[in-house]
Amino acid sequence: MSRFTAIDTYDVRFPTSRELDGSDAMNPDPDYSAAYLILRTDDPDGLAGHGLVFTIGRGNDVQTAAISALSHLVLGRDVDAVLDDLGAFARSLTDDSQLRWLGPEKGVMHMAIGGVINAAWDMAARRAGKPLWRFIADMTPEQLVRTIDFRYLSDALTPEQALELLRAAEPGKAQRVAALLQEGYPAYTTSPGWLGYSDEKLTRLAREAVAEGFRTIKLKVGLSVEDDIRRCGLAREAIGPDVAMAVDANQRWDVGPAIAWMKQLAQFDIAWIEEPTSPDDVLGHAAIRRGIAPVPVSTGEHTQNRVVFKQLLQAQAVDLIQIDAARVGGVNENLAILLLAAKFGVRVFPHAGGVGLCELVQHLAMADFVAISGSKEDRAIEFVDHLHEHFVDPVRIRHGRYLAPEQPGFSAEMHVDSVRQHLYPAGPVWSGEVPAVASDGLSAQAAG
Amino acid sequence: MSRFTAIDTYDVRFPTSRELDGSDAMNPDPDYSAAYLILRTDDPDGLAGHGLVFTIGRGNDVQTAAISALSHLVLGRDVDAVLDDLGAFARSLTDDSQLRWLGPEKGVMHMAIGGVINAAWDMAARRAGKPLWRFIADMTPEQLVRTIDFRYLSDALTPEQALELLRAAEPGKAQRVAALLQEGYPAYTTSPGWLGYSDEKLTRLAREAVAEGFRTIKLKVGLSVEDDIRRCGLAREAIGPDVAMAVDANQRWDVGPAIAWMKQLAQFDIAWIEEPTSPDDVLGHAAIRRGIAPVPVSTGEHTQNRVVFKQLLQAQAVDLIQIDAARVGGVNENLAILLLAAKFGVRVFPHAGGVGLCELVQHLAMADFVAISGSKEDRAIEFVDHLHEHFVDPVRIRHGRYLAPEQPGFSAEMHVDSVRQHLYPAGPVWSGEVPAVASDGLSAQAAG
């Protein structure tokens, strides 16, 4: 019998602010970062699980401290027992009666919980020798439902209703797996649209995106309406009328200003306005949606948990949602959110970019296609061409589509040397010095 | 000119789980704790500000790490400039573009921000030689409005509307100050109602509460409906028909079960059901309220920020709200919430108990009475008779009422020896050993 022996954490930061990559109306100078963790076991074959929480720089140390604070719930537990009942494992983390006060189920503590849960799913998929999307897709409806915490959902989705949805998706699974392996899953790109880029760079990247096969691009907006009108016009001209163009305000506006601003951009045939206001404001999103119809409204990358997603759907506040692999309580909670979206008939455009978010979330979108919604051509996964070289199993994009991962696990594992180089603050990228590293690989960094 | 020189943090924990004080349906064994902080300056008179974030044990180290992560936004700044514009100071903390990713404005990071902001208000009130409630009450409407961040509120409350409310409360301020000093502010007590207590202890404490002058008591519910019916019956018998009795489920239920459960308790003339479900579920609270009318519904101690409070009021989801001094982004955000409550005509019953929450929140309720709502006889501040001996300026309760604090500041300062004894994990209460302490008082403990 193997047991969990450690949660090693690493404060890994990339100095992206030097290039203004990732700049938007609320995040002018992000240093894309990962509170990276490796779940260790005493398994003789070295079975381990990898996970990460994405942050944009400062506070990545707080995030690693929060991950370490979960150790008492993990260390010493029987690996097989945990991996065979990932629902119970996830609940044991979210239900810690004292840690719960720090959320519940939101912010730093919830993201830490999600990182550890995701590492356990990575380990379970590796143990099964499957990429995570396939590991999920191969579960029976009953197994999948057992991973989900329906607390606070039953007024919108019961376990019985979830089972019905999953059983209805059973026929055709094998064909969808084959289609996925052959065609991949549609991607859309945000690379042209960062606020810090010049008009020339925006136009050039937008043209290149279409040439590469992308059918949707996204622009950041929200700092100046005149600039946004000009940039949307340039982008629309560059991509032509048949490629979709979304815009993203990153929570910049109040309800009234969101409506006024978007009425000025509607002329450019907007695929959706993303995060027009506070991610906590369900009723605000509903008011904005009514105010700018038929322009579609979306949110989700900062939506803290399934309870807020439930309300966005109940209130008809959104036309589509983003999910994020590293914001909520791990795979389990994202499965709940995907089931809610299926129940309400709302499309999912997963949030990605950052560090490792593309690597992670592709698995969830593909599992959704095979086992839950059964649909992929009316949706797409965000793609930003950043930092993939640091991952052992990086995303592969061909003609604007994500190819299905083939290696076992959740694709979260980073190269040892990438971690070593970017450790904050002691790694060479930050200090100029070479840190001491254990000869057998990564030495655990003390959190904080 | 004085400058900020340090944010010293202390992980202070009280072993309350040994007595089952504070036990409820979701928190069976809390160790009431404070991520305590002292904002230091180089002021020649030793001006300092005290603040704390309340937690219930594990994770208090994560909370202190989050407070320390704010140092770059505070250290080196001009003390007078900060204290003269506490609105700008608060926004500089909530708007840190990188830290914002960890919330925004929720959970660990937001509570840390609130703790630091509260310490700055403590310092400002000390500098003015006034207790905080009086310091706030003596601000002009314009000064008070300038402390508030109206972002995401303008669809419910604009600065102009807030000014109108405050100006309407100007007449009679002096009389209300006099009334407060003479009569105090009503309290209600939760001391009898913890779930871990025996029927005998519940009955005895309920009788004692009435004898001491309390006009409202509160019972924890939610583990077993049969137990709750028996305990509510015993309590109602003990207090008689004229004393109000509230119940608190601490987020135990989904929407349907909340309605079914409360229909069985309605016979006991319930003053309000508190936290029937997830604190994030605005629409759920609205559904419960419709389902159990006319039993009043309340929530707020876990409500993460002003955006969720706004929606609770917009959706008519609550009959009254709790505010908590250490959950949201400090005094500024609580002033916004008090103004929202006044605008929507909803009463406020501040959450207290824990460690220092009574000491803090009394100031907000009293400032509300003097300068905002103008009302106090139809509301009350929670009181739990725990751990007050650790504070330099503890609450004073007479005949079921809080007496107005008289010492300058926010009453958050703890006795040096209390901090020293309860430092986790090195303090004698936890280790049995005597820790090293600097001879001039408290030595700063490294966060984490």
In the block, residue with structure tokens 């403590």: B122
A306 and A374 assigned to the same domain: yes
Which domain covers residue A317, as residue numbers? 169-402
Is residue A40 situated within a structural domain? yes
B162 falls within a domain: no
Within-domain flag for B421: yes
B220 and B337 co-located in one domain: yes
Residues A375 and A298 in one domain: yes
Same domain, B126 and B188: no
pLDDT at residue A17 in the model: 84
**A224: contact with B, CB 8 A cutoff:** no
Q: What is the CATH classification number for the domain harbouring A235?
A: 3.20.20.120
pLDDT in tens, B226-281: 999 999 999 999 999 999 999 999 999 999 999 999 999 999 999 999 999 999 99
Q: Quick check: B138 pLDDT over 60?
A: yes
Residue A234 lies in a domain: yes
Distance from CA of A28 to the nearest CA of B (A): 7
* Model confidence, pTM: 0.96
CATH of the domain at A419: 3.30.390.10
Question: For B17, which DSSP code?
Answer: G
If asked whether residues A424 and A381 sit together in one domain, one would say no
**Adjacency order of strands within the sheet including B4-13:** B4-13, B33-41, B48-55
Residues in CB range of A260: below 8 A, 6 or more apart: none
Q: Which of B20, B53, B62, B92 has the highest number of chain A CBs within 10 A, making it the mutation to test binding with A? A: B62
Both ends of chain B: CA-CA distance in Å? 32
Secondary structure of chain A as H, E, C letters: CCEEEEEEEEEEECCHHHCCCCCCCCCCCCCCEEEEEEEEECCCCCCEEEEEEEECCCCHHHHHHHHHCCHHHCCCCEHHHHHHCHHHHHHHHHCCCCHHHHCCCCHHHHHHHHHHHHHHHHHHHHHHCCEHHHHHHCCCHHHHHHCCCCCCCCCCCCHHHHHHHHHHCCCCHHHHHHHHHHHCEEEEEEEEECCCCCHHHHHHHHHHHHHCCCCEEEEECCCCHHHHHHHHHHHHHHHCCCCEEEEECCCCCCHHHHHHHHHHHHHHCEEEEECCCCCCCHHHHHHHHHHHCCCCEEECCCCCCHHHHHHHHHCCCCCEECCCCCCCCHHHHHHHHHHHHHHHCCEECCCCCCCCHHHHHHHHHHHHHHHHCCCCCCCCEEECCCCHHHECCCCCEECCEECCCCCCECCCCECHHHHHHHECCCCHHHHCCCCCCCCCCCCCECCC
In terms of domains, do A120 and A195 share one? no
| Alpha carbon distances (Å) from A236 to A210, A248, A265 | 11, 15, 11
Q: How many helices (H) and strands (E) does chain B have?
A: 17, 13
d(CA A421, CA A426): 9
Whether B62 contacts chain A with CB within 8 A? yes
Does residue B65 sit within a domain? yes
Q: Report CB contact under 8 Å: A98, B153.
A: no
CA distance B329 to B348: 18
Which residue is catalytic, options A50, A310, A351, A422? A351
Count of domains for chain A: 2
User: What pLDDT was estimated at residue B432?
Assistant: 75
- Give the residue among B162, B133, B127 at the shortest CA–CA distance from B147: B162
CA angle B352, B356, B358 (to 5 degrees): 35
pLDDT reported for residue A120: 98
> Are residue B276 and residue B349 in the same domain, yes or no?
yes
Instruction: Clarify whether residues A385 and A422 are in a common domain.
Output: no
Co-location of A226 and A85 in the same domain: no
Chain B nearest-CA distance from A432, in A, is 22
| Residue A409, in any domain of the structure | no
Nearest CA-CA partner of A225 in A266, A197, A281, A283: A266
Amino acid (1-letter code) at residue B257: P
Question: For residue A157, is it within any domain?
Answer: no
Query: Are residues A228 and A344 located together in one domain of the fold?
Result: yes
Q: Are A411 and A362 in contact (CB under 8 A)?
A: yes
**Residue B27 to residue A104, Cβ atoms within 8 A:** no
**pLDDT tens, position by position, for chain A (448 residues)?**
999 999 999 999 999 887 666 667 667 788 999 999 999 999 999 999 999 999 999 999 999 999 999 999 999 999 999 999 999 999 999 999 999 999 999 999 999 999 999 999 999 999 999 999 999 999 999 999 999 999 999 999 999 999 999 999 999 999 999 999 999 999 999 988 888 889 999 999 999 999 999 999 999 999 999 999 999 999 999 999 999 999 999 999 999 999 999 999 999 999 999 999 999 999 999 999 999 999 999 999 999 999 999 999 999 999 999 999 999 999 999 999 999 999 999 999 999 999 999 999 999 999 999 999 999 988 999 999 989 999 999 999 999 999 999 999 999 999 999 999 999 999 999 997 644 343 344 544 433 3
Give yes or no for residue B444 having a pLDDT over 90: no
Q: Note whether B119 and B218 are same-domain residues.
A: no
| Domain membership flag for residue A440 | no
Q: Are A321 and A358 in contact (CB under 8 A)?
A: no
Catalytic residues of B: 220, 351
d(CA B203, CA B209) in angstroms, rounded, equals 10
Six-digit token pair at A164?
Answer: 């019905």
**Burial annotation B183-205 (CB, 10 A radius, 16+ → b, else e):** ebbbbbbbbbbbbebeeeebbeb
Cβ–Cβ < 8 Å for B214, B187:
yes
Alpha-carbon distance A30 to nearest alpha carbon in chain B (angstroms): 6
Rounded Cα–Cα distance for residues B351 and A242 (Å)? 55
> Based on the domain organization, do B186 and B115 belong to the same domain?
no
